[in-house]
């Protein structure tokens, strides 16, 4: 009976977790950058009320956090971000996270199509 030498495959498999985590971190940071681009500029100031000052807290609070290996969260750190994203009964939605994820997803889809035609 012939024994198969799997040392090279074992070494590749051992490195996959690290590489997977690197890729996921990169994707999370791409989503963060897109969300910052798309975040409503003055979420607490209605367009017609220049009396309310601009803080930039929503945009500045968007961050990426590693929760555990292969799990990254992109979130905002303000209590009104969810209301901007989804809207309320009194306010129209001004989504920024979902479009950011969709933009990065499209980039990844295009990349995979090029790699695996």
Q: Average pLDDT over the chain, rounded to whole? A: 83
The residue assigned the tokens 């009976």 is 1
Q: Is residue 86 part of a domain?
A: yes
Confidence label for 56 from pLDDT (cuts 50, 70 and 90): confident
Q: Is residue 7 part of a domain?
A: no
Pair of tokens at residue 80: 């009104």
pTM for this prediction: 0.75
For residues 56 and 29, give the distance between their C-alpha atoms in angstroms, rounded to a whole number.
19
Q: Which of 82, 79, 70 has the alpha carbon at shortest distance from 24? A: 70
Pair of tokens at residue 100: 């950011």
pLDDT reading at 15 higher than 60: yes
Q: Is residue 56 part of a domain?
A: yes
Q: Is residue 107 part of a domain?
A: yes
Domain tally for the chain? 1
Q: Is residue 8 part of a domain?
A: no
Range 13-21 contact pairs with CB under 8 angstroms and sequence separation of 24 or more: 17/69, 17/70, 20/70, 21/69, 21/70
Segments forming the whole domain that contains residue 45: 18-115
């Amino acid at each position: 009976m012939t024994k198969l030498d799997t040392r090279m495959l074992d070494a590749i498999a051992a490195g996959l977790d690290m590489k997977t985590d690197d890729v996921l971190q990169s994707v999370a940071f791409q989503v963060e950058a897109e969300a910052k681009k798309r975040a409503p500029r003055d979420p607490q100031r209605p367009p017609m009320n220049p009396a309310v000052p601009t803080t930039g807290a929503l945009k500045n609070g968007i961050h990426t956090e590693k929760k555990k290996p292969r799990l990254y969260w992109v979130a905002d750190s303000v209590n009104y971000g969810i209301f901007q994203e989804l809207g309320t009964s009194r306010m129209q939605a001004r989504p920024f996270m979902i479009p950011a994820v969709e933009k990065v997803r499209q980039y990844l889809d295009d990349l995979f199509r090029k790699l695996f035609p």
